[in-house]
Amino acid sequence: MAEEKSGAKIGVYICHCGTNIAGKVNVEEVTKWAATQPNVAVAREYKYMCSDPGQDLIKNDIKELGITRAVVAACSPTMHEPTFRKAASDGGLNPYLLQMANIREHCSWVTIDPAAATAKAKRILSAQIHRLPLNESLDPIEVPVNHDVLVVGGGIAGIEAALKLSATGKHVTLVERNPSIGGHMAMFDKTFPTLDCAACILTPKMSALGKDPNITLMAYSEVEYVEGYVGNFTVKIRKKARYVNTDTCTGCGACQEACVVRKVRSEFDQGLGFRSAIYIPFAQAVPLRATIDPTKCLTLSKGKCKQQSCVPACGPGAIDFEQKDEVVEIDVGAIIMATGFELWDATQESRYGYGRLDNVITSLEFERISNASGPTGGEIVCKNGEAPKSVAILHCVGSRDENYQEFCSRVCCMYSLKFSHLIKEHLPETEVYELYIDMRCYGKNYEEFYKRLMDEGVNFIRGRAAEVTDVALSPEEEGHLVVKTEDTLLGIVRRIPADMVILSAGLSPAHDAKEVSQVFGFGCSANGFYLERHPKLEPVATVTDGIFIAGCCQYPKDIPDTVAQAGAAAAGVLGLVDNDTVKVEPTISYIDPEKCSGCHICVGLCPHNAIQYNEEKNAAEVIEAACKGCGVCVSACGSDVPQQRGYLDTQIFAEIEGALAV
Amino acid sequence: MSDNGFEPRLIGFLCRWCSYNGADLAGTARLKYPPNMVPIKTNCSGRVEPTHIMKAFADGADGVIIAGCHPGDCHYINGNYRTAGRFPLMEKMLEQLGLEHGRVRLEWVSAAEGDKFARVVSEFTEEIRALGPLGWSGQFKDEAAAVAPEAVTA
C-alpha cells in the first residue's frame, strides 16, 4: 500500500491533448480526484502538456514545490515518455521518477461512453500514482557505438543509402542476395514520368558503389544471423559460392558463351530469355563476375560435364568447382533494410489466364520486352514474333482487391501509362486500351504525363477487367485474346480484342519478408511489409533501435520516394553512428549474490546470454552490458532473487493495486 | 449484458514491444472496445509471474489477460516462449485454487494488430461478464496488507 507517510511528493499532470482526451474524458473531474490521492502534492490540467509551457509546469513544480515524483496522464509513453523524462531531468528530477499514464490511446480514443472513459482514466492514473513512490532514480547506461553500417539489399534504395553514408566517411557493408546489385530498377526500360532510361540513371550509381573505398560489397550473399543491440550488432553473412574466383574473373563473359547448358530461363529476363548455367545476369552487372548456377551446371549437379568448356574458355582460369560458401562475421552499429518487393503472382487470378494463355504477360515481362537489351532486342512483339495490333493494359491486378491484396500498389497506374506511351512510340498504329478503376497520378509531373497520354490517342476505359479469354464469340474475335469488361462510364459491357494483354500486377512483400524480419528482430505490418516505427513521423525507423527500413520493403512506392527514404534512413543511421556512445535504458536486472542459491536456472534462460555463474561468489551475476531488460530471469527464479530495475515486483504489485483501488 | 449490472474488472499485462503497441494502434485507429481492462506494461510477457496474476485476483480483478508477441517475434528472442510454457501450468494451479476456467487468458498480439487487440478485449470482457464476479478481494485484503512493500522515501 502506498502510504501517506512514504515522503514522496507526486505532481500529477493531466493533458487535454486538445480535444483528443478532453473531448471524452472529464479532465477537470480527474484532476480534482487526483489531488485527493495518496502522496499527491499537486494535480494540474493543461491543454498540451508536451508543449514548452506544459513541460515548464513540471519543471516549476520540481523547483518550487519540491515534488519528488511526477506522472503525466496523456498520450502513449511511446509518443512522449522521452519528452517528459527530459523535462524532468532538465528540472532537476531523475527521469525515472516520472511515469506516464496512457489515457489517450488506451482510453479516450477507444471508449464510447464519456463517464466510462473518465472512470477508466482514473484507474489508469491510479496505477501510476500507487507505483511512483516505489520508483527509484536510475541513470541511463552509455554504451559505445560501432561506426560501421550494414545495408541489406542492393536495389536503388540500398545503393542510395550506402552512397550517402560513404560520403560522410562511414564504412558500409552492402549485402545483396542476387549475383548483381541493381534490383528491379535495373530491369526497367524507361522510368516515369520523365521517360529517363532506367539503366542510364542507375548504372552510374552502381558503378560508383562498386568502386567506393568505403563500401564493402558482398553480392550473392545473405545475412544468416544477427545478434546484439543498437550500436553493437554482430552479423553473420554467408557469401555463397559462385564457383568462380572473383579476384581473377574479369567478367568477359567468354564462359557463358562456351557453356553447353544454354537454355536456362533467365531470372533477370523474367523467364522470357535464356542464360547459361554459368552466367553474368546482365551486361552492366556490378560486380561484373560470372556465377555458376549449381542446380543447372552439369558438373555441380550431376558430376558429369564431359567438356567443361567454361574452363578452357576462361583466360584467367577463374573457374573453381571446389569453391565453398564462406561465412563472415562483421560488427556494425546500425542496419538499413532495403530488401525491396516481389511482383504479385498473377497466376493467382485465373480469370486473366496468366500462365495459361499466350501473350498474357506481367508488367515486369513487358519491361524486359520493351528494353533494348532484353530478350526481344526492344521489339514489342507477341510470342509468335509479330507486333501486336491491339494491346490491353489491365490495372489493379492483385491490388485493391479483397480477394488478394487490399492495398493500392501506388506505381501501377503510372507504369501502365508509361507502357502505353512506349507502345504508341514503337507501334503508332497499334490500339492501346487502359482498363482502370481510378487513375492515380499523384506525383510531381504525373498528372501532366496522364494528360499527355490522353493526347497520344490511348483508349481509357473505366472498368476493372472481368476476364481474359481466347474463346471467340464472333468472327472478329477469332485468333485474338478478348478482354471482357464493364465500361462504367458508358454503362455497357464490352469485349475488347487484344493481341497482347499486360497485367499491371501489384507489388507484394518479398516471399520471405517475415522470416527475414525475425532474423533481424523487428516486425511486419498486417499486409506483410516491414513495420515502421510510426506511419507519419518515423517511416524509416523500426521499433528496434538501430534498425532502419527504406524503399518498397516498407511499402510500395516509386523511385523518387524510394530514394528519399534511403536518404532519410541514412540520416537516421548517422544520428546514431556519428556519436561515440548511445544511451540505453537502464531497466536491466541485478542479482543479489547473498540471496542466490546457485541453482543456475536463470543462467540458461537468458535469451541474450547475459547471466554468467560466478564460481567464487557461488552466485549468478548479470553482465550489465549484455542485459536487455526482458525480465525473464526475474520471473523464473524460485527464490525471487533477480530484480529488474524499473520493473521491480513491488512496483508491478503497486500498479495492480492502484488499478483495482478505484 | 448481465441483469445485475456487473462490470468486470480486468487487468491486462502487455509487453512493451508488440502488444502495448498493438493496443496503441487500436487507439490510433479509434477502434472502440469496453473500458473494463487496465493495462500494465512490462518489457516482455516473460516478466509476468504467477504472483502478479494472483495479486490481481486478490486485489479484486475478475479476469486477467497476458498479451505478448507472436512466437518468433519476441523482441527478446524467446521471452514469450517462457510465457507460453508457464501459462498452462498456471491455469491448472488457478483452477485448483478454485478459479473457473477462462478467467485468465494468453493472447499473441503484434504491434500491427490493433483490430485483434480490440476484439480480444471485447470478447474477454463479455466472457468474464458471463462468468460473473470472482469476489476474492475481500478474503485476501488483510493478508496482502501484511506483506505490503515498503515505499522508497524521497
Q: Model ipTM? A: 0.91
- Block residue for cell numbers 528491379: A184
CB proximity list for B7: less than 8 A, separation 6 or greater: B36, B129
The fold of the A585-645 domain, in CATH, is Alpha-Beta Plaits (3.30.70)
**pLDDT recorded at residue A625:** 80
Domain count, chain B: 1
Is residue A1 pLDDT above 50, yes or no? no
Parse chain A into domains and list their residue ranges: 10-138, 142-240+327-340+510-581, 254-313, 344-507, 585-645
Q: What's the mean pLDDT in A46-66?
A: 97
**pLDDT recorded at residue B136:** 78
Is residue A287 pLDDT above 60, yes or no? yes
Nearest CB partner across the interface for B152, out of A111, A136, A657: A136
What are the residue ranges in chain B where pLDDT is below 50? Answer: 1-2
**pLDDT recorded at residue B139:** 65
Residues of A in contact with B27 (CB under 8 A): 76, 104-106, 109-110
Closest residue in B to A517 (Cα) is B73
Sign of CA dihedral A13, A17, A22, A24: negative
**pLDDT recorded at residue B145:** 66
Residue B25 lies in a domain: yes
**pLDDT recorded at residue B153:** 56
Q: State the nearest Cα–Cα gap between A91 and chain B, in angstroms.
A: 16
How many contacts, defined by CB atoms under 8 Å, are there between A and B? 171
Q: Are A25 and A108 in contact (CB under 8 A)?
A: yes
Question: Which cell numbers hold the place of B29?
Answer: 485507429
Nearest CB partner across the interface for B40, out of A8, A107, A127: A127
Q: State the nearest Cα–Cα gap between A505 and chain B, in angstroms.
A: 25
The fold of the A142-240+327-340+510-581 domain, in CATH, is FAD/NAD(P)-binding domain (3.50.50)
Is A344-507 the same fold as A10-138?
no
Domain A344-507, classified CATH 3.30.565.10, yes or no: no
CATH of the domain at B24: 3.40.50
Residues of B in contact with A123 (CB under 8 A): 38
Nearest CB partner across the interface for B27, out of A105, A543, A659: A105
Span A10-138: which CATH code?
3.40.50
Q: Are A99 and A133 in contact (CB under 8 A)?
A: no
Strands (E), chain B: 10-15, 37-42, 63-68, 104-108
Closest residue in A to B8 (Cα) is A660
**pLDDT recorded at residue A2:** 42
Does A447 reach chain B within 8 Å, measured CB to CB? no
pTM of the model: 0.89
Q: State the nearest Cα–Cα gap between A56 and chain B, in angstroms.
A: 22
Q: What is the mean pLDDT of chain A?
A: 96
DSSP string, A334-378: EEEE---EEE--GGG-GGGTTTTSTTEEEHHHHHHHHSTTSTTTT
Does A124 reach chain B within 8 Å, measured CB to CB? yes
> Which residue range is the domain that position B20 belongs to?
10-139
Record: contact A635-B28, CB cut-off 8 A: no
Record: contact B76-A632, CB cut-off 8 A: yes
Does A543 reach chain B within 8 Å, measured CB to CB? yes
pLDDT digits (tens, 9 = 90+) for A168-203: 999 999 999 999 999 999 999 999 999 999 999 999
CB proximity list for A200: less than 8 A, separation 6 or greater: none
Band of pLDDT at residue A3, cut at 50, 70 and 90: very low
Closest residue in A to B37 (Cα) is A120
Q: State the nearest Cα–Cα gap between B133 and chain A, in angstroms.
A: 14
Does A119 reach chain B within 8 Å, measured CB to CB? yes
Record: contact A653-B40, CB cut-off 8 A: no
pLDDT digits (tens, 9 = 90+) for A510-552: 999 999 999 998 989 989 999 999 888 899 999 889 999 999 9
Region label for A243, one of left (φ > 0), alpha (ψ between -120 and 50) or beta (otherwise): left
Residue B149 lies in a domain: no
Question: What backbone torsions phi and psi does residue A619 show, to the nearest 5 degrees?
Answer: -150, 155
Q: What's the mean pLDDT in A342-347?
A: 98
- Block residue for cell numbers 469488361: A485
**pLDDT recorded at residue B144:** 61
